[in-house]
Amino acid sequence: MRFHTIHVDEGKGLLGLVMEYLDGPSLERRLQQRGAMPVAEVIELGAQLASALASVHGVGLVHRDVKPANVIDARGQYKLIDFGIATLEPPAAVAPRRRVMLDDLPFEIAGSRMSGLTEAQTMQGGTEGTGRFLQGGTVGYMDPVSVATGAPATAASDLYGLGVVLFEALTGHLPARGPAGLRGEVLDGRSPAPPLASFVAAPEPLCKLIDALLAPERSGRPGSATEVEAILLALQKPTPQQLKAAVGEPLPLAARLAHGAWRWMLGAIALATGWAFWRGSPTPPCSPGATAVCQQRCERGEGASCHTLGLMFERASGVPKDELKAAELFERACSLDHGAACCALGAMREQGRGGKLDEAEARQRYERACTLGDPQGCNGLAIQLAKGAGGPQDKARAVLLYQRACDAGYANGCANLGALHERGDGVPRDEARARSLYERACNEGAPSSCGLLALALLAGRGGPTDLPRSTALFERACGGGHAFACVGLGVLLEQGTNERPPERERAASLYHQACEDGERQGCLHLGQLHQRGEGVPLDEQKAAMLFQRACEQGHPLGCRLAGEASATGRGVLKDDTRAAGFFRKACKPDDGVADAEGCAWLSLHLRHGRGVERSLEEAEQLRNKACELGASLGCPPAPLPGRE
């Protein structure tokens, strides 16, 4: 699709592309309305698309989503559109070993986003982190190598998509079509697509070319889009010009100019979407790492440049970390009506970074960001309002702001609104609505929401239970860096199912990962495995250390287990004073629910004066509390003095 010019609004930091208007249906619509195409038309279609891809790849880009919906029939000329997920081609690297497999899928899922199929994955070899692989592609058209291993897309990935398009244009269906749905083994490359010749009568060279484009491994595909274009041109009624192109002679001047136009267009798209290259402009853009450029533009009053420079100082990106400087830059950008900068400054004030802790100012900055249209700012303001931080509590307005952030595409806004519906906090309790919001946020790429959805599915909140999907969602969220989901997945693997035996070694690995990421539940569960010697070596000293670590992070059960270790001398020196301190933290946590057995243990220590001053009155109060909370140790009648 042709590019005409760029409109630059330096004051607002905005770029706009002016491109040609294409008057014509998509190839997808054409196939839906009229079915398979004649061989001659498919050859012409393939030659034009291969030419387009040759230009795309020539400037180092990968389209990543070649499919009929992204091809426009503009009055006989096929145009490739939608570079929304295009990337720079990665450097050559050895593809990782296969890690996931896809189940067979229903026909109607063809053409949907690959990122929605995590629940259809199964494991191979017990490898972790599969949830992050099915991103950035379309079901039926995505390179099997990327599906199976998570390897970045390359030019060969676009050639696979081209092969699917041509196969579908000739046959009317996808190569992965099976008797009852899409064959997962073709989608993930375990099995090659069936030969084209088994479906249509087409020239043998064309069949061989399309079969090669659909090779499961990249090494089996043609070397470049230029090679594909040359083969297809040779299959047409040849003109002298086409014959020269087919045998690799230089293209005529007009063709070279056409390819040059593509390069200019792709350069413009790269600029508009933030790709980091710029050729000879007198006013280069401010991008992460371009410190001097950002500084100059910020000094000229460009809010976007001040914001980018602030992020660089906040994250130590090309400059030394300096949160005070970052806060100053965010404040300047905010004064220039940059919403994201107001939100960033609000977060720093809320967390006490960049010079001061000031929740009232945090609320003001979030309010400004939200007013300027920043959905993350609306979400931050909603959090402040919901808990009454920095000003009066207003749960009703918080609900509206979460909804606003959610509707604007900010996934965490959907998740936070779902949590309110699940608890009935400020809104009617509606677990089905909560599940729906978690689903939406998960599909929008929020790993924590996938974990919340997995919990809802596991407990049957808001709908039926679904253990397989819950497991897959925990896998996805864990792969996305959500530590609590790693714990959830570990618990399911540790327990096993009727169909699958326990995987305690992998569970231990997940608990360790979560613990190192600051998730107290991970430390607790890993300690319990070490205490029992399941999946890891029996090590009571390490178990006691992990229980203490969980306790320090505020986990009441971790405090009780650390106290039991000190009280009994398991893994540590016996120390009643230290044990009583742990039991008190377990029974009277700063937040959360008291641990019943911890209260019972503390009651016994107070009754006997073990490590604490003896107090029969407090001991009796704690014994009753333990009993009310369900502790077996606290419920029997108190023994008579002297006979305990």
299 and 365 co-located in one domain: yes
Domain assignment of residue 515, yes or no: no
State the chain's mean pLDDT as an integer: 83
Domain assignment of residue 503, yes or no: no
146 and 70 co-located in one domain: yes
The enclosing H or E element of 487 equals helix 483-495
236 and 334 co-located in one domain: no
Instruction: Give the Cα separation of 518 and 506 in Å (integer).
Output: 19
202 and 311 co-located in one domain: no
111 and 230 co-located in one domain: yes
37 and 106 co-located in one domain: yes
Q: Please provide the size of the chain in residues.
A: 644
Q: Half-sphere exposure of residue 249, counting CA atoms within 13 Å on the CB side?
A: 9
Domain assignment of residue 420, yes or no: no
The enclosing H or E element of 543 equals helix 540-552
Domain assignment of residue 86, yes or no: yes
Pick the last residue of a domain from 234, 266, 298: 266
Provide the pLDDT for residue 115. 60
Q: 338 phi and psi, to 5 degrees?
A: -100, 105
pLDDT tens per residue, range 128-167: 444 444 556 888 899 998 888 888 889 999 999 999 999 9
164 and 90 co-located in one domain: yes
Q: Which residue has the tokens 């690959």?
A: 114
Provide the pLDDT for residue 327. 95
Indicate yes or no: pTM above 0.75.
Answer: no
What secondary structure letter does DSSP report for 498?
A: S
Confidence of residue 287 (pLDDT cuts 50, 70, 90): low
Confidence of residue 298 (pLDDT cuts 50, 70, 90): very high
pLDDT tens per residue, range 516-568: 988 999 999 999 999 999 999 999 999 999 999 999 999 999 999 999 999 99
Domain assignment of residue 46, yes or no: yes
Instruction: Give the Cα separation of 406 and 413 in Å (integer).
Output: 5
237 and 129 co-located in one domain: yes
Nearest Cα neighbor of 555 from 512, 506, 594, 507 is: 594
Residue 637 pLDDT > 70: no
Q: Into how many domains does the chain fold?
A: 2
In 121-230, which ranges are E strands? 121-123
106 and 166 co-located in one domain: yes
Domain assignment of residue 350, yes or no: yes
Return the structure tokens found at 331: 């404040």
Domain assignment of residue 189, yes or no: yes
pLDDT tens per residue, range 166-219: 999 999 899 998 887 888 889 888 889 999 998 888 899 999 999 999 999 998
Nearest Cα neighbor of 434 from 452, 458, 459 is: 452
Pick the last residue of a domain from 391, 408, 425: 408
Structural domain of residue 199, as residue ranges? 27-266
Return the structure tokens found at 86: 């295009």
Q: Which CATH number do you get for residue 74?
A: 1.10.510.10
Give residues with Cβ within 8 angstroms of 70, minimum separation 6: 26, 63, 80, 81, 82
CA triple 429-432-436, angle to 5 deg: 120
249 and 304 co-located in one domain: no
Residue 123 pLDDT > 80: no
Return the structure tokens found at 95: 């593809």
Percent of the chain at pLDDT > 70 equals 84
Percent of the chain at pLDDT > 90 equals 45
222 and 340 co-located in one domain: no
Provide the pLDDT for residue 639. 52
Pick the last residue of a domain from 355, 386, 408: 408
Interval 402-418 mean pLDDT: 88
DSSP symbols for 269-323: HHHHTT-S---S-SSPPP-TT-HHHHHHHHHTT-HHHHHHHHHHHHHTSSS---H
Q: Which CATH number do you get for residue 319?
A: 1.25.40.10
Instruction: Give the Cα separation of 419 and 414 in Å (integer).
Output: 9
Which amino acid is it at 68? Answer: P
DSSP symbols for 29-75: HHHHHH-SPPHHHHHHHHHHHHHHHHHHHHTTEE----SGGGEEEET
68 and 151 co-located in one domain: yes
Residue 117 pLDDT > 90: no
Domain assignment of residue 355, yes or no: yes
pLDDT tens per residue, range 28-47: 888 887 888 999 899 999 99
